[in-house]
Amino acid sequence: MEKHSPQGWLAASLLLTVCLAGCDRSDPSREALNSEMTDDRPANTNEQRPEPPLAEQRDHVVSAPAGDRNDPWYWLRDDERADPDMLAYLEAENDYTETMLADLSDLRETLFEEMRSRIKEDDSTAPYFDRGYWYYTRYETGREYPIHARREGSLDAEEQILLDVNELAEGHDFYSVGDRDVSMSGRYLAWLEDTVGRRQYRLYIRDLATGEDFDTGLTGLSSVSWSAEDEVLYYVENEPETLRSWRVRRYRVGSGEPGEIVHQEDDTAFYASVGRTTSNAYNTIYLRSTVASEMRIVEADAVDRPLRVFYPRQRDHEYRADHLGDRWIIRTNFEAPNFRIVSAPLDAHAERDRWEDVIAHRDDVFVHDFDTFDEFLAVSERSEGLRQIRILDWDSGESKLLDFQEPAYTAVLGTNRDQSAGTLRFVYSSLKTPKSTWELDVESGERKLLKREEVPGGHDPSEYRTRREWATARDGTRVPVSILYHRDTPLDGSAPLYQYAYGSYGSTVDPSFLTSRLSLVDRGFVFAIAHVRGGQVMGRHWYDDGRMLNKINTFNDFVDVTDHMVQAGLVDAERVFAMGGSAGGLLMGAVANRAPERYRGIVAHVPFVDIVTTMLDESIPLTTNEYDEWGNPGDPEYYEYMLSYSPYDNVAEQDYPAMLVTTGLWDSQVQYWEPAKWVAKLRVHKTDDNPLLLTTNMEAGHGGASGRFRRLAQTAMDYAFFLDLAGLAETEGQEDT
């Protein structure tokens, strides 16, 4: 897709209302605009604020089987990203945001430099061993992107750089490496490149022996995996209109042809990806919808054979399998809502009556994942909301959990590629404990710290406190809350609250460490993760109770967590702030409509706020795959339910919190026009004087800016926005933090 930028268009004056059709588009220069403003203007002084942009309203009917709706801002949608009126509006909003935040520029810069200073610039990951090489990723001082490298046989061997992403990114406003895979011989590297931010990748191959690169010319891809032969690999191409990963090809390097189609997924609810088993003995195609999955397998050295179905798909059956010696190890939710681990003979994987329990189903434990070893099995599971690791000995059949001491933490499986190893890599973190990579000797129980995230300038976990709270939702459900605060911050109702949640797709936001949060916590904020329904923190039922016709539970849980934090006397009711992104941005939009008085400010990143219109349009990426998450609005029951909470459709004549909304012009997951339309509608209907700001990254997609430092600028903007609203923008206390 060609990248467009506005040509010959300037943002309309921010001192006048923006009218994008039939208006005079002459624009004073930024310098002239700035000269009309005094440097000492308070950030939120209404009398001296510029007028916000107002997008023109143009009648447009969105049809649905259950009824039609008028959407006067539908015109902001332009699939080509080229409409000059639309681009002018987005640029005007960007200018308005920068003007409104002009007096916070010093604070934003301070926050940015502070957060950057906590990133170890010349850092590297803990190396892992795979097929004769030690692989790792490292960063160099001052450089935005990673360098992927390896050493043969020993960590003392000479370094070989696989990809220097800094070099690849030169000349690009946005650059991202997607999937990558080293051939089984170790000679060739295949990688996917995105220079727009739309996650439609181009395939390149590098001969690691000569350093020569080969551009395959294949674009619009999503994943790649080598067979046992250096000349043959599998890749997934996306459907051009919906961008759904749907077709798998077996490609012969240098053939000049795209390769034979080995699978085409015609069920629009399913997405495809390719990979290999940990043993490297089988290539796999993994097909997944919201509620079902299916694997296809073929021996990695059988490059001319058709793939066969591992176990036929069935609605509400999800599974994943890995090969170990003479058997398959399978995670399945057949007759096991929280999943179980079973084994099957190598040639009987499609015979479910020959599946035998390894880890039986438990009502109070959710099984996330597993890693297979010759001597033992490592299982990632969740109990009482905490992510834990269980080790099962194959010989004795006995299993045990690894023990950790903190009240709220995350322990997950690390990178384990060698099935013959007697050690397990795992990663431990908490809200106050930096990410730590450990190696466990399974036989002796000895743990060895391989790598702990270093915080330049020092980080003392004893300076911080973590705790878990249980908030009672309005229907009586107990909702867990993970909390971080500085030891000097009293939980007596005087501290501001930053509350975060996601709450969709069964995705759980675990209590792990993030250095950027310290910039708020050190300034007196209480940070809280509300583990609302729609995730899977308490098991599969937690997800089912927060999707489809139960989705409103997600929104209620979030508000009820806020009420608990306030009513328990932990935080200041007048300084409660909320943040969420993507589907969590939908949550922010719903909360803003339903309980605006609870929140002083809200940040919504790439928010999915126009759910009904989007889910009615099957041409938009992700739509058909998500009917089992949100429902199909073609069905009147789901249409009415979705319409009852859709943030865009429920904007009302009422006061709203101060709001900062972000989007990316090239976003393929939540299209830019959803946040843009939402803000345009809010501007017309809201009855308050609180700031409403929209910022669009004109060079990026769903993940925002590329590069490890550049993305901190958005976080600095978020934090400055909240600190100002909390009355803390002028009381830095930098010497003490």
- What is the SS3 assignment for 93? helix
The answer regarding whether domain 318-454 maps to CATH 2.130.10.120 reads yes
Please give the helix or strand (H or E) that residue 660 lies within, else none.
strand 658-664
Catalytic residue among 436, 582, 646, 668: 582
Look at residue 494 and tell me whether its pLDDT is greater than 90.
Answer: yes
Sheet holding 147-152, edge to edge: 128-130, 133-138, 147-152, 159-164
Catalytic residue among 349, 368, 605, 702: 702
Q: What is the mean pLDDT of residues 167-176?
A: 87
Of 625 and 126, the structure prediction assigns the larger pLDDT to 126
Residues in Cβ contact with 68 at an 8 Å cutoff, skipping those fewer than 6 apart = 61, 62
Distance between CA 703 and CA 663 in Å, rounded?
A: 9
Q: Which two tokens stand for residue 578?
A: 């909320």
For the four alpha carbons of 662, 665, 668 and 672, in that order, the dihedral sign comes to positive
Q: Whose CA is closest to 718, among 679, 660, 657, 658?
A: 660
Look at residue 297 and tell me whether its pLDDT is greater than 80.
Answer: yes
Sheet holding 658-664, edge to edge: 464-472, 478-486, 526-530, 497-500, 576-581, 601-605, 658-664, 692-697
Pairing of strands 497-500, 526-530: parallel
Q: Tell me, what's the pLDDT at 329?
A: 98
Q: Tell me, what's the pLDDT at 199?
A: 78
Is 643 within 8 Å of 676 (Cβ atoms)?
no
DSSP string, 414-475: -----TT-SEEEEEEEESSS--EEEEEETTT--EEEEEE---TT---GGGEEEEEEEEE-TT
Look at residue 10 and tell me whether its pLDDT is greater than 50.
Answer: no
Q: Tell me, what's the pLDDT at 1?
A: 30
Of 618 and 148, the structure prediction assigns the larger pLDDT to 148
Q: Tell me, what's the pLDDT at 141?
A: 87
Q: 702 catalytic, yes or no?
A: yes
Is 263 within 8 Å of 247 (Cβ atoms)?
yes
Q: Predicted confidence band at 26 (pLDDT cuts at 50, 70, 90)?
A: very low
Q: Tell me, what's the pLDDT at 668?
A: 73
What CATH topology corresponds to 459-574?
Answer: Rossmann fold (3.40.50)
What amino acid is encoded at 644 in this protein? S
Q: Which two tokens stand for residue 613?
A: 């219109």
Question: pLDDT digits over 359-381, tens only?
Answer: 999 999 999 999 999 999 999 99
Q: Predicted confidence band at 119 (pLDDT cuts at 50, 70, 90)?
A: confident
Look at residue 311 and tell me whether its pLDDT is greater than 90.
Answer: yes
* DSSP 8-state symbol, 180: E
Q: Tell me, what's the pLDDT at 405?
A: 80
Q: Tell me, what's the pLDDT at 666?
A: 83
Q: Tell me, what's the pLDDT at 619?
A: 74
Domain boundaries along the sequence of the chain: 52-116+599-728, 318-454, 459-574
Q: Tell me, what's the pLDDT at 694?
A: 97
Q: Tell me, what's the pLDDT at 648?
A: 98
Q: Tell me, what's the pLDDT at 144?
A: 84
Q: Predicted confidence band at 709 (pLDDT cuts at 50, 70, 90)?
A: confident
Q: What is the mean pLDDT of residues 467-486?
A: 97
Distance between CA 1 and CA 241 in Å, rounded?
A: 11
* Cβ-based burial of 412 (10 A; exposed 0-12, middle 13-18, buried ≥19): middle
Distance between CA 556 and CA 328 in Å, rounded?
A: 42
Sheet holding 188-194, edge to edge: 176-182, 188-194, 202-207, 213-215
Residues in Cβ contact with 572 at an 8 Å cutoff, skipping those fewer than 6 apart = 493, 494, 495, 496, 497
Q: What is the mean pLDDT of residues 614-631?
A: 82
Q: What is the mean pLDDT of residues 104-126?
A: 92
Q: What is the CA radius of gyration of the chain?
A: 26
pTM, entire model: 0.84
Q: 582 catalytic, yes or no?
A: yes
Distance between CA 542 and CA 479 in Å, rounded?
A: 10
Look at residue 394 and tell me whether its pLDDT is greater than 50.
Answer: yes
Distance between CA 42 and CA 303 in Å, rounded?
A: 68
Question: 52-116+599-728 falls under which CATH superfamily?
Answer: Alpha/Beta hydrolase fold, catalytic domain (3.40.50.1820)
Q: Predicted confidence band at 317 (pLDDT cuts at 50, 70, 90)?
A: very high
Number of residues assigned to the chain = 737
Look at residue 182 and tell me whether its pLDDT is greater than 80.
Answer: yes
Look at residue 24 and tell me whether its pLDDT is greater than 50.
Answer: no
Catalytic residue among 371, 667, 718, 724: 667
Q: Tell me, what's the pLDDT at 679?
A: 98
Q: What is the mean pLDDT of residues 48-75?
A: 93
Q: Tell me, what's the pLDDT at 25?
A: 29
Distance between CA 574 and CA 562 in Å, rounded?
A: 12
Q: Which two tokens stand for residue 696?
A: 């669009």
Q: Tell me, what's the pLDDT at 243?
A: 82
Tell me the average pLDDT of the chain: 89
Q: Predicted confidence band at 731 (pLDDT cuts at 50, 70, 90)?
A: low
- In b/e form, how buried is each residue of 600-620, taking b as 16+ CB within 10 angstroms? bbbbbbbbbbbbbbbbbeeeb
Within 10 A of 122 (CB to CB), how many other CB atoms are there? 10
Q: Whose CA is closest to 553, among 565, 543, 562, 567?
A: 543
* DSSP 8-state symbol, 166: H
Do the two domains 52-116+599-728 and 318-454 of this chain adopt the same fold? no
Q: Tell me, what's the pLDDT at 730?
A: 73
Distance between CA 246 and CA 267 in Å, rounded?
A: 9
Q: Predicted confidence band at 32 (pLDDT cuts at 50, 70, 90)?
A: very low
Look at residue 705 and tell me whether its pLDDT is greater than 90.
Answer: no
Of 443 and 5, the structure prediction assigns the larger pLDDT to 443
Q: What is the mean pLDDT of residues 147-158?
A: 96
Within 10 A of 172 (CB to CB), how many other CB atoms are there? 14
Give the CA diameter of the chain: 80
Question: pLDDT digits over 230-257, tens only?
Answer: 999 999 999 888 888 999 999 999 888 9
Q: Whose CA is closest to 529, among 584, 489, 475?
A: 584
Alpha-carbon separation of residue 522 from 199, 464, 534, 726 (angstroms): 36, 9, 31, 14
